[in-house]
Amino acid sequence: MERRDQLLGFLEKNRFLTIKQLAQELHVSEMTIRRDIALLAKAGKVKTFYGGVSLNTEIEPPVKGHYRIDAELIRKTEIKKRIAQKAASLIEAHDVILIDTGSTTSGIVEYIPEGRDHTVYCYALNIINSVCERESLNVVICGGYYHRNTKMFESEEGASLIKKTQINKAFMAARGVTDTVGITTAEPYEINVKRAALSVSEQKILLVDSSKFGKAWYAKYADLTEMDIIITDGDIKEEHEKMILDKGIKLIVV
């Protein structure tokens, strides 16, 4: 059937997609997509995971609730501090910035310079708390349903709020970065808000420690080429450094 061939084509290109994304791409209902996926899965052509479907065997089947940001916040703390400090040094006077949910991005707030009229858009509880403690910072909170495992607030209204502004710099996080899959995150519910952030940002800056390269999580939110700058640590492998530079992305190693 032509539609199922198209569905397989989208999966070959994107590796992992949610039911909602496939329905939008193919202009059919989510129920229709579910029926197509059931037939393709029975034929052994696709694998269904929590949150979506994939052709890609390099993506491990996710376990619901497996990712918890509290555990990530205590891993590689010194490396993450250096990355966050470097990211904050890129912030200019009067910048409107967005800080994405993440264990590395959460460290940026501490290093934002005082008295330079900054506005911060954010949607993660730990980042919101940090920003609100800094009286010199203006804060815009993008609310919604609270997800405890990522500390993220998420909603269509929150994404719409982001889309109504112009962000100078978006500081983004990731669980995995590969050449073939792109930039992936822990949960499918994160995708909509992250895509909103990228759509209105003049400069997109990815903060990841080197252990994230060469790994694909199961919720893709961006192609690697959508980033302008990547900040990572000195343990990055030569092959991953080449991957970034070959795509014309500025690489900052701390």
Phi and psi torsions of 25, nearest 5°: -65, -40
Indicate the average pLDDT of the chain. Answer: 88
Q: Which residues pair with 121 in a beta bridge?
A: 98, 140
Of 239 and 63, more confident: 239
- Domain with residues 2-54, CATH architecture: Orthogonal Bundle (1.10)
More confident residue, 8 or 228: 228
* For range 72-92, the mean pLDDT: 91
Q: CA–CA separation, 9 vs 135, rounded Å?
A: 50
Q: How would residue 230 be classed by pLDDT, with cut points 50, 70 and 90? A: very high
- β-bridge pairing 176-178 and 182-185: antiparallel
Does the predicted model carry a pTM greater than 0.85? no
Indicate whether 60 pLDDT > 60: no
Q: Which residue has the higher pLDDT, 57 or 74?
A: 74
**6 or 129, higher pLDDT:** 129
19-52: pLDDT as tens digits: 888 888 888 998 898 888 888 877 667 777 666 7
- Stated length of the chain: 254
Q: Are strands 167-172 and 96-99 parallel, antiparallel or unpaired?
A: parallel
Please give the Cα distance from 21 to 58 (Å, whole number).
21
Query: Quick check: 109 and 120 in contact, CB under 8 A?
Result: yes
Task: Write down the CATH number for the domain with range 69-253.
Answer: 3.40.50.1360
pLDDT of 73 above 80: no
Q: What is the 3-state secondary structure (H, E, C) of 110-172?
A: HHCCCCCCCEEEECEHHHHHHHHCCCCCEEEECCCEEECCCCEEECHHHHHHHHCCCEEEEEE
pLDDT in tens, 114-161: 888 999 999 999 999 999 999 999 999 999 999 998 999 999 999 999
Are 33 and 19 within 8 A, CB to CB?
yes
Nearest to 14 by CA among 157, 141, 190, 191: 191
pLDDT above 80: residue 62:
no
Domain locations in the chain as residue ranges: 2-54, 69-253
